[in-house]
Amino acid sequence: MPTSAEGFKRRLGPIIERARELETRLGDPNLTQDPAQLKQLTRDYRRATALLTRLSEYEQIEKETRDTEAMLHETDDAEMHELTRIELTKLNKKLARLEAELKTALLPRSPDWDKNCIIEIRPAAGGEESALFTGNLFRMYSKFAERHHLKLEVMNSRPSELKGFKEMTFAVEGPEPYRFFRFESGVHRVQRVPETEASGRIHTSTVTVAVLPEPEEVELKIDSDDLRIDVFHSSGHGGQHVNVTDSAVRITHIPTGIVVTCQDERSQGRNKARAMKVLRARLLEAKRKEEHSRTAQTRRKQIGAGDRSEKIRTYNFPQNRVTDHRIGLSVYSLDTILGGNLDLVFDKLEQAEAEIAPTQNNES
């Protein structure tokens, strides 16, 4: 049974009160003296008001749906009846979409959702074709970020010979970046005829994606004595600035053996800052994996658990199909998805996550 706007209002009561409280607190001029708290309260207020805006839209669409249903039963004109029926179908689709969004928004939130994140894409099986698809995924994520007003910054990249990438690491900042990208960790498989294939045979290649929430300062402390920092000549895209100065930076975390390299910037200082940013995210992820290994059985049941050995999605070019294997979803609109419209997949993943959440809560 669909949930009414009144039902959502009752469930959103605490959020409505919270929005009023936040509005009052944000009006306090003394809050500017605590930038961290100001940032958190602003983020909470923005999220609460966005949810209430959706509720208002839901109320309006629900009213329009009732009025249109009444009109459908009252009209005797065949042409008007058909037009009204078409309009009612559109309204019901809007209502269903808003209802799904509101239900998802009412789920318990992970504190990581609001965090910026670092994404690492690497070719796996398939040689140069895998490197080319690494570039395809990077462009897809770039376009998605643009659609959602997220800021994307390349941290490190190693181009391949045919305009692909042997490695691509970038950061995403803005409203809820990790919430969007958390589903992307894993193995992405592509099936298509490579540019290098003369016989026209379809090849299968794979690319790995790791999505790391960026830790807050208080979450992770790194001892400088645990780091070995090396500088060397950049070996990037070529040009007059390459191999002129030792601007590339390699940081090794000695206790774990984790190595991070950044060389895209001409400034050694900026490369070092970027490398430290990636290192912090990797160390936090390693720490979390160790903690989560105690509850691995439950974790494996989660949507988007982030296991990089898991094949999560296939991009089949001959069939114009994208299949997400975690929920058995197939979308026959590959160009649209590669063009950045990942909402077609993310919305379904969030709905699936919402459906299994009560079961997981009972198990934990």
CATH number at residue 246: 3.30.160.20
The continuous run of DSSP H or E covering 122 comes out as strand 117-123
Are 255 and 179 contained in the same domain? no
Report which of 138, 121, 304 is spatially closest to residue 208, judged by C-alpha positions. 121
Q: Are residues 284 and 307 in the same domain?
A: no
- Alpha carbon 44 to its chain centroid, in Å, reads 19
Structure tokens at 120: 């690492």
Residue 133 shares a structural domain with residue 257: no
- Using CA atoms, how far residue 17 sits from 6, 167, 172, 192, in Å, is 16, 47, 31, 53
Residues 328 and 283 in one domain: no
Written as six digits, the tokens of 322 are: 């994208």
Whichever domain contains 15, its CATH number is: 1.20.58
Q: What is the pLDDT along the chain (364 residues), one digit of tens a residue?
A: 456 777 777 777 778 888 888 888 888 888 888 887 887 788 788 878 888 888 888 889 989 999 998 888 888 888 888 899 999 999 998 888 888 778 777 766 777 787 888 999 999 888 888 999 999 999 999 999 999 999 998 888 888 887 889 889 999 998 888 988 999 999 999 999 887 666 778 889 999 998 988 876 656 677 787 888 888 776 654 444 444 456 788 888 888 888 888 877 777 788 888 888 888 888 877 777 765 655 444 334 434 443 445 689 999 999 999 999 999 999 999 999 999 999 889 988 887 877 765 444 443 3
| 3-state DSSP helix/strand/coil % of the chain, to nearest 5 | 50, 20, 30
Q: What is the pLDDT of residue 353?
A: 77
Question: Do 209 and 336 fall within a single domain?
Answer: yes
For residue 357, the model assigns a pLDDT of 54
Cα–Cα distances (Å) from 24 to 46, 154, 237, in that order, read 14, 38, 52
CATH number at residue 356: 3.30.70.1660
| pLDDT for the residue 335 | 93
Domain that holds residue 128: 117-218+302-363
Q: Are 58 and 8 in contact (CB under 8 A)?
A: yes
Q: Are 161 and 269 in a shared domain?
A: no
212/307 same-domain check: yes
Are 315 and 206 members of one domain? yes
69-to-82, 83, 87, 131 alpha-carbon distances in Å: 12, 12, 10, 53
What is residue 3's predicted lDDT score, i.e. its pLDDT?
A: 60
- Which pLDDT belongs to residue 143? 95
Q: Identify whether residues 41 and 26 lie together within a single domain.
A: yes
Examine the fold and report which residue of 79, 105, 131 is the final residue of a domain before the chain moves on. Answer: 105
Do 205 and 322 lie in one domain? The reply is yes
Indicate if 273 and 162 belong to the same structural domain. Answer: no
**Cα–Cα distance measured from residue 270 to residue 98, given in angstroms and rounded to the nearest whole number:** 43
**CA neighbor of 220 nearest in space, from 284, 169, 296, 156:** 284
Q: Give the predicted TM-score (pTM) of the model.
A: 0.65
Evaluate whether residue 112 is within a structural domain.
no
Number of domains within the chain: 3
